Amino acid sequence: MSSFGYNVLGFGAFPNRSKTMDIECLVVAGGGSGGFGSGGGGGAGGFLEVSTTGTVSDGTEWTVTIGAGGARATSATNGAAGSDSSIAGTGITNTTSTGGGRGGRFGSHGGGAGPTTGGSGGGGGFGNNPSTSTGSPGTSGQGNAGGNATISSASNAATGGGGGAGGTGSPGGFLSANHPLGGEGGAGTNWKSLGTSYAGGGGGSAQQISTGSAVASIGSGGAGGGGDGGRYGGGSSPQQIQATAGSANTGGGGGGGGSAAFDLQGGNGGSGVVILRYAGGQVATGGTVTSSGGFTFHTFTSSGTFTT
């Protein structure tokens, strides 16, 4: 049947619809874990911002992968690097953020092993050889370097904080010969000034085993989910504090373990997160969908699919 100059059967056979969209993306990888016993803080996961502009057709799918945080070491080893996060699909490229670097461990025969390069570098672990107790660099454009460890004696040590998206990890230091101070984790970054920071580095640890006053100060994790370092304060009444993990879905690095002599473990790295936003009302699915300030947000805390 024909009417008004067209075939009624044509209804329902819509062409492929498309529209011009500006989509802004934050891709944060998993943070590295802190090193075992007098270990350095883990580096934050890579912090990567991506924007895409152009025509997006209905039904376009992007695969979102969320990187896990590095698992803490349960024996005398370095921490573990975090896993990468990414977005992949038609029309979007260069969207892989690199997992955070591991924290260096205690080294009883010459120094803590240097951590690997990550989104942000891990902090250096305790050792008698400063050249092997250094923090590692970060990945350019995604993070910053971890801090070095500082050794006062064979039993007193302050390890480096892991690097963060917004700053380097601080080196370990001493307020006095018997008062080690773990390095602070590098600060994370507040994406789009929305009030939440991501990718903070893990704090370094402090160990004071020599006789005398039992004083040791941990390194704080960086704003953006970094875990605090552990500590061991010597003397007749030792005080032990376990390192804390990086916060989930922030890419925060785990804190460094407090003492090798007492098997204090570093903290796990925090898992990553991916956030996509565009102006106006919802025109896509995937993740947790919210609206604020004229934008629609899709937040992925686990791997999934973003579909227009």
DSSP 50-64: EEEEEEEETT-EEEE
CA dihedral sign of residues 178, 204, 103, 240: positive
Q: What share of the chain is helix, strand, coil (3-state, %, to 5)?
A: 5, 30, 70
Number of C-beta neighbours around residue 18 at 10 A = 14
pLDDT greater than 80 at residue 16:
no
**Residue whose structure tokens are 């963060």:** 164
Predicted confidence (pLDDT) per residue in 239-252, tens digit = 788 899 999 999 99
Distance CA 220, CA 206 (A): 11
Q: What is residue 293's predicted lDDT score, i.e. its pLDDT?
A: 93
SS3 45: coil
What is the CA angle 299-300-303, rounded to 5?
A: 165
What is the pTM (predicted TM-score) of this model?
A: 0.89
Mean pLDDT of 22-47: 92
Predicted confidence (pLDDT) per residue in 296-307, tens digit = 999 999 999 999
pLDDT range class, residue 225, cuts 50, 70, 90: very high
Domain ranges of the chain: 23-288
Distance CA 69, CA 245 (A): 9
CA dihedral sign of residues 279, 282, 287, 288: positive
